[in-house]
Each structure stands twice: as structure tokens, then as C-alpha cells.
Homo-oligomer: A and B are copies of this chain.
Amino acid sequence: MTKTSDKHVGLSAAQEAEIQELREARSTTRRATVSALEEVLYDPIPVLDHGFVRVIDYMGDDSAIVQAARVSYGKGTKHTRGDAGLIGYLMRHRHTTPFEMCEIKFHVKLPIFVARQWIRHRTANVNEYSARYSVLDKEFYIPAPEHLAAQSTANRQGRGGVLEGEEAARVLDLLRQDAELCYEHYEEMLNEREDGSTVREGRAGLARELARMNLPLNIYTQWYWKCDLHNLLHFVALRADPHAQYEIRAYADAILKVLHLWVPIATAAFVNQVMEGASLSGPALRVVRQMIAGQAPTQEESGMSKREWDELMQALGRDA
């Protein structure tokens, strides 16, 4: 994880200056403090070509989870297992409320089509840059060649192989040209350029809230986004999953790295239990029991669909 802010990362000069100032400020606090996270506080972690994630503030640490869980146990509790044991137990048994006692706030820069997936996570707080008030920056997401995936033919939601040669070149040309053209017309309709200058004297300029509708979905927006740890882990579980679109997965991966710095015990338990684990249905458990007993159950006998069967075999490392 880089710790140096980077002009390529899509920060404005004003934001760079603000970050510098905040990084240098120090206060004394009685609050729970996580030094590994303090190290990267305010620093943008680059994601995609112009995006970033940076931590703006946080509340609580692994101990806050333990502390909240132990409220339930009261005075009579014998603290026989350590924090890791207790947190693992909570994670395994979906005792989720103690994880809600930690909170984190990010500043994120992301393409609008990613923002539209992200915002579906409702138990969070968000303040987004408003294109009703302000002119959007001229920054568009253009995939790196290795992420220029073809439509999967097997899976209607998925990606197939990577586009190559002329087809890839054409796609990149189209994305760049259309973004360029739409933004130029955005400025013309506004009658105002990105640098604040007027396009043509004597024109009124279309309202910002209208002109923005000409911009494509790969333009970058930014927001402050605040979430508790339980809901953030749920976000990561869904969005760092192989079924998630690559572009949001890149953000989820960056957040997962932040989680390892912030709450290392909870994050380890989460990776162990959720990211690397699997949920087995009743019929799937019966199949597993039969296989352990040396039997050779078949999909037909199992009562499972072909698709569910294949998923189980994959979880058991028995991909056809």
C-alpha cells in the first residue's frame, strides 16, 4: 500500500494541500487509537486509473468489538479465551452487533457506474460531489488493456477472455473519443470550461443539473462514505467476490487492505470464515457425509440441481 500521495491519483491541488495539513496535525486523545491505521490516515490509495480510497476518520479497534461483546457477559464472565477466540466465535455464529461498534469514514473517487453499484449498500452514510452545484472534472475511467474483457458466452453476467488486437484498439478509441466529445459538449452547453473560462460570450449557459446528463457513466465522481464494520465486511464479502465486477472489486480489495491495518483480528476471522469459507445446504451436507463415509453419491440422488452440485464440487476442490 503506497503511503505517498500522488498527483496521478486524481486529487486536486486544493485537496493535496488539505491532506498535507491534516497529515501534519497531531492531537492527544484518550480514545482507542490504531497506530498502523494512523500511518495511512488521509493518504489516497490509488484504485483504477484516476480513482482512490483514503481513510478520513475511524472509531474503535479490535478491542471495541470485544468490549461490546463482553457487556453481554457481565460480571460473572471468566475471560478464558483471548480476544481472537472470542472474535472468531462471534464471526462464526453471526453475532454481528459487536462489529457495529467500530466505524470508519472514507473519501472515495470512483467512476459513476461503480458508484451506482456501491450505493446499493444502504446502511452507510454518504455525501457526494454534486453536479448540480459544480462542474465535474474531466476524468474518465478507461480500462487497462488487460481488463478489456469480452462478454462471457457461458455466463450472462460475466466476462470471458480479454479482447485483443484491432477489436481492443477500437474499443479504447471509442471510449476515449466519446468521453472527450461528450465533455467538450458539456462545456459548450454550460458555456463554461473546466478552467472557469467562458466558451462564447453572450450565451446564458445551460443549468449544470441539466448539462451533466450528457456525460458518460465512466466519468469520475467522489464522495465521503461512512460505514460500521459489520456492514463494511458485508460490502467486502459481496464486492471482493469473484462474481463482482472487476472495477468495484478493485475498491473492495483496497478496503480489505485497510481493514487488515485497522482491525487485524476481526479481518483475519472474516477472511477465514467468510472469504475462504462456504455455505452448504442441507442436501450438500448429506452429500459430504456420504463422501466422507466412502460412498459415491451422484447429483441425481442428491436432490440438488446440476448448478448447485457443480458449486459444491468446486467448494470441495473437485471441479470437473
Contact = CB atoms under 8 A, between A and B. Distances in A.
Given A33-B28, A88-B308, A174-B189, A315 B75 contact: no
A73 B207 contact: no
A112 B149 CA distance: 24
A8 interface: no
B281 A272 contact: yes
Given A224-B67, A282-B272, A285-B277, A209 B160 contact: no
Nearest to A123: B122
Interface string A269-280: 001110111111
Nearest to A113: B213
A1 interface: no
Interface residues of A, number: 138
Nearest to A173: B185
Nearest to A74: B134
Contact of A33 (B27, B159, B216, B283): B27
A281 to B, nearest CB: 4
A218 B130 CA distance: 16
A256 interface: no
B281 A204 contact: no
Nearest to A273: B281
Contact of A100 (B73, B115, B125, B280): B125
A145 interface: no
Interface string A178-210: 100110010011100000100000011111111
A36 interface: no
Contacts of A112: 116, 217
A215 B212 contact: no
A251 to B, nearest CB: 15
Contacts of A73: 130, 133-134, 156
B113 A133 contact: no
A33 B22 CA distance: 12
A50 interface: no
B171 A178 contact: no
A42 interface: yes
A151 B190 contact: yes
Contacts of A157: 130, 132-133, 209
A194 to B, nearest CB: 10
Interface in A111-152: 111-113, 115-116, 119-120, 122-123, 125-130, 132-135, 141, 143, 148-152
Contact of A283 (B26, B171, B189, B272): B272
29 contacts: A26-B30, A27-B30, A27-B31, A68-B224, A71-B129, A72-B130, A72-B133, A76-B135, A77-B156, A92-B308, A93-B243, A98-B127, A120-B126, A132-B245, A149-B206, A149-B210, A150-B205, A150-B206, A161-B204, A167-B204, A175-B213, A175-B214, A178-B182, A213-B218, A216-B217, A273-B282, A276-B285, A277-B282, A292-B316
